[in-house]
Amino acid sequence: MTRVGFIGLGLMGASFATNLLKAGYSLTVHDTRREAATDHLAAGATWADSPRAVAEAADVVLTSLPGPPEVTAVVLDPETGLIAGMADGGVIFDLSTNSPTSVRAVHAALAEKGISFLDAPVSGGPKGAVSGKLAIWVGGERGAFDANRAVLDALGDQVAYIGPIGAGSTAKLVHNSVGYAVQVALVEAFTAGVKAGVEPLALWSAIRQGARGRQRTFDSLGEQFLVNTYDPPSFQLRLAHKDVALACQMGRDNGVPMRLINLVLEEMTEARNRGWDAQDSRAVLKLQVERAGVAIEESREDVQAVLDGDR
């Protein structure tokens, strides 16, 4: 069976590595904190002291890292990076949310060494990482994808080849930035309705039954916004800010105006300046509540009762 290496045992990566072990892969792991690998080592994984050591022990390496700078350092450091240890014909899948421009540069550097680099960002959040119910969008050489798809199938149930290098990252940035923009627009109108005198739960219950609401666009408001609880986070604001910033950069790189997405980024920047980095990404919605001068804080039980009413 393919020897697999994994780097980045954070909120998502730890679950990915666990699922690779469950799938029966021989796994070598690395993280900036060895203690992050405690459970994986107990389950049969092997520890490596550097990305280079991971590459020397694996045919396929997956990375799950915070962003472009970390990916570039882990992959291209001439002394300790994957490029220093991976053999000709090796394959790297980057599961991180990355910049299309950055992944193309990394891809070009590795291609000179005969190493395939594919961007393979994921969508599904921490719960999806645990359950394996998540999408993985892949860009890069089709042959390398086809030959090693089974490794990705151990992580997600919706693995899709999108196109050449950078295509996966582009799909992820489009998906995430649109999602955050929709949330900001929803709450802008929602707070206006509350300010006009409609009780929040009644308004939410009503608009969910409209044409747009029946597509479940509004259901996301029930998780953090309606209950006014943003901790513990499902996905931290600082990470969401990074994703939207990358989308804005993608627009600049391609000469495409991103007016609404840039506004979303400004909202997120203001929220970060409030000290909300570690809160859930939807904490940005508190800014609009504050501007509108309304109070929205329903009980989880009442919110769930609305959802259960559909069934």
Torsion of CA 226, 232, 234, 235, to 10 degrees: 110
Query: How far apart, in Å, are the Cα atoms of 259 and each of 178, 184, 220, 256?
Result: 12, 13, 23, 9
Strands 91-94, 60-63: parallel, antiparallel or unpaired by DSSP? Answer: parallel
**Which of 133, 172, 242, 286 is flagged as catalytic?**
172
- Report how far residue 225's alpha carbon sits from residue 70's, in angstroms, rounded to the nearest whole number: 32
Asked if 184 contacts 286 with a C-beta cutoff of 8 angstroms, the reply is no
Q: Which residue, 122, 132, 120, is CA-closest to 93?
A: 120
What does the block give as tokens for 232?
């513990």
Asked if 157 contacts 133 with a C-beta cutoff of 8 angstroms, the reply is yes
Which segments of 82-141 does DSSP mark as H helices, in order? 82-85, 100-111, 125-131
- Spell out the residues 6+ positions from residue 196 whose beta carbon is closer than 8 angstroms to its own: none
Q: Which residue, 268, 194, 267, is CA-closest to 226?
A: 194
Cis before 232 (ω within 30): yes
Asked if 3 contacts 58 with a C-beta cutoff of 8 angstroms, the reply is yes
Question: Is 172 one of the catalytic residues?
Answer: yes
Strands 135-139, 122-123: parallel, antiparallel or unpaired by DSSP? Answer: antiparallel
Q: Which residue, 239, 245, 305, 248, is CA-closest to 278?
A: 239
- Report how far residue 302's alpha carbon sits from residue 177's, in angstroms, rounded to the nearest whole number: 30
Tell me which residues are annotated as active site.
Answer: 172
